[in-house]
């Protein structure tokens, strides 16, 4: 009986260790997926998108919406920028954000 209990405890320890390792791997890999899901942030348009959108919130992934859905969202964000009295979005930056979104949006 004693031998069985020791075997059970080591198996329990192995299971716990496996679960913790798996959890750490999932957390790490989910972070990698999130970062790799944002395409072309190093391009000029991507840099403007990242810089301006991060001022108030995280970076939404363009691929989850169509361009038709993005256009009113960007206009709404311009209103929010004014409400928060942040630096206004110049037309060239507005166009860069729309270009970035159009390039990576979900197909219609």
Same domain, 45 and 32: no
Same domain, 81 and 105: yes
For the segment 12-41, the average pLDDT, to the nearest whole number, is 58
Same domain, 67 and 91: yes
Domain that holds residue 14: 1-36
Same domain, 25 and 47: no
Same domain, 32 and 10: yes
Same domain, 72 and 57: yes
Same domain, 9 and 56: no
The rounded distance, in Å, linking the Cα atoms of 96 and 46 is: 8
The rounded distance, in Å, linking the Cα atoms of 37 and 22 is: 22
Band (38; pLDDT cuts 50, 70, 90): confident
Residues counted in the chain: 108
Same domain, 22 and 48: no
pLDDT (tens digit per residue) in 40-98: 999 999 999 999 999 889 899 999 999 999 999 999 999 999 999 989 999 999 999 99
Sort residue 20 into left (φ over 0), alpha (ψ -120 to 50) or beta: alpha
The rounded distance, in Å, linking the Cα atoms of 27 and 55 is: 25
Sort residue 40 into left (φ over 0), alpha (ψ -120 to 50) or beta: left
pLDDT at residue number 55: 86
- Work out how many domains the chain is built from and give that number: 2
pLDDT at residue number 34: 43
Same domain, 69 and 105: yes
């Amino acid at each position: 009986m004693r031998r069985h209990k020791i075997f059970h405890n080591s198996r329990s320890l192995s299971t716990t260790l496996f679960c913790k390792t798996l959890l750490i791997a999932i957390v790490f890999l989910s972070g990698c997926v999130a970062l790799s899901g944002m395409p072309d942030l190093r391009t000029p348009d991507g840099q403007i998108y990242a810089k301006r959108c991060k001022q108030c919130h995280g970076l939404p992934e363009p691929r989850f919406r169509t361009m038709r859905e993005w256009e009113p969202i960007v206009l709404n964000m311009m209103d929010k920028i004014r409400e928060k009295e942040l630096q206004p979005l110049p037309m060239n930056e507005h166009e860069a954000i729309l270009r970035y979104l159009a390039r990576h949006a979900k197909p219609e």
